[in-house]
Amino acid sequence: YAVSFARGIQRDSFEGGDLKDGRLQVSACCKHLTAYDLDHWKGVDRFTFDAHVTKQDMADTYQPPFKSCVEQGRASGIMCAYNLVNGVPNCADYDLLTKTARGEWGFQGYITSDCDAVSLLYEKQKYSKSHEDAVADVLKAGMDVNCGDYLANHTKSAVEKGKVSESDIDRALYNLFSVRMRLGLFSGNPRQLPYGDLSRKDICTPEHQDLALEVARDGIVLLKNSANLLPLSKSQTKSLAVIGPNANVSKTLVGNYAGPPCKTLTPLQGLTDYIEKIKFHEGCENINCTLNAKSKAVKIAKSADYVVLVMGLNQEEESEDRDREELVLPGEQQSFITSVSEAAKKPVVLLLLCGGPLDISFAKNNPKIGSILWAGYPGEAGGKAIAEIIFGDHNPGGRLPLTWYPRDFIKVPMTDMRMRPDPSSGYPGRTYRFYQGEKVYEFGYGLSYSKYSYKFVSVGQSKLDFKNYILVSDVGSKSCENAKFSAIVSVENEGSMAGKHSVLIFVRHDEAGNGSRPMKQLVGFQTVRLNAKEKTNVKFEINPCQHFARASEDGTMVIGSGVQYLVVGDQEYPIST
């Protein structure tokens, strides 16, 4: 995703390689480098948190997104994060910024701090001995500009005290002005460039609003659909109750760090376009439902053919500078949902607006809750997309981008950055790749109104000639390129409704789950549109040097012997290495 985003925003082609003249439409910035996974949790904040990360986890978890953003996406900007990693602030880490980003990855662009991050080195982290030392530490590490005025206030003094040389400043200015030149900011009046004078009318075009709707549709995940409750019949649904604190609040749709929407349609407004007879009640005065009108909501639920409960979270529960400390719905939401569901004539539809995972096992296992939809924060067109899915004008095809853990996962401190499980201490690991505990829903899960089946049609290799245990660096780029092969998978829509479907292909080793090896690893995905009963072939490129490799304890990437399985749905294809 980062690769495609960087390519698109900088005016590269989807496949990459079209920035031959170096000119940029916009400068893409990869952030926040690196191991920046804590904001504000139980008194620990991002400004002083020291993330202890093993070389193994750094190599195969924390660094790969940035590496691909630079190497494949050719991003022209990097932002170093507030936090420290293994005792060194990211913005003062020469090994990270200069040796790794510029040296190993070939980064050519500017490196900026997060806003006022440089001041933290001296004022909060106590890493630097003075303001001038903080300036010297970041410039000599390879950072080019500070978001804020700290460098403007203290760089002159750092030069006068001999802590920073003019060559350090020249290097930073070269990186900064090079990108500005690539953007055309010195090629006449910047406002006369193709994208130099954008306004709201350029943003809110019909094409862009259609794109917002498409994105909202594609991102919604159907988690449960007992007895095919959804889609509801447009002709036979005579009355609908829409209940919940997130049902008619437009600002909840856009989440955090969003510009002003062109127009918004809440879930309630979207559903009103389908059903005239709608009874609405927010049910709760706030997202915690500590003050609720349960009796009123129950009365409304009893009177309607169907009930849609619009619950979840909002910016009061999850936002910048606010990490959640629980994985359950806040306050009295669960009790409220259960009471309304019990009162309804038929199983209800539960719609969740939230950014992170929730333990909703109570709803998953409750027969009175027939369907569950997760919409994330779907943006300005979210209400329309939700209504289209509920009434069958769009077939849901979203997949969960993260694991939904059970409530007890909060016993794992957010400050523990380890990926791999540790059975001796009971540490279960993190992410779908290493977590070995119970799940509410797994990464990549998502239902549809159709059923899809898969079959491997052809795979270019069944055996690779890698001897025992080999370093990827020893294979060489030419041999790695020659080792690539394709896997073709047949995908069939066995249902009666057309749909858009994401095909996920994983790699699993026959010794997966032994602690150091991932349980499985996503190596690619493609989206297809299929009519009812239609089938098509999807082609994936498999790169053994990348997809079959794992990180050793010292952070080097290796390919071990054994059997690797390509996995798509319930289909597996073995490859010996």
> Which residue type occupies 108?
Q
Listed residue (416, 405, 310) closest to 357, CA to CA: 405
- Which burial class, exposed, middle or buried, applies to 282 when counting CB atoms under 10 A from its CB (0-12, 13-18, 19+)? buried
100: three-class secondary structure by DSSP:
helix
Q: Which of 400, 439, 406, 436 is nearest to 419 (CA)?
A: 436
CA distances from 32 to 37, 78, 238, 408 (A): 9, 8, 50, 29
Residues 39, 60, 114, 359: which is the catalytic one?
114
Report the distance separating Cα 516 and Cα 434, nearest Å. 8
Q: How far is the C-alpha of 410 from the C-alpha of 225, rounded, in Å?
A: 28
Computed over its alpha carbons, how large is the radius of gyration of the chain? 26
Question: What type of residue is 374?
Answer: W
- Beta strand extents in 319-419 (DSSP E only): 348-353, 369-374
CA distance 156 to 280: 62
Is residue 114 among the annotated active site residues? yes
563-568 β-sheet, strand order: 521-530, 499-509, 563-568, 571-576
> Omega of the bond prior to 32 within 30 degrees of 0, cis?
yes
- The Cα–Cα gap between 574 and 407 comes to 36
Among 495, 566, 483, residue whose Cα is nearest residue 531: 495
* Active-site annotation, residues: 114
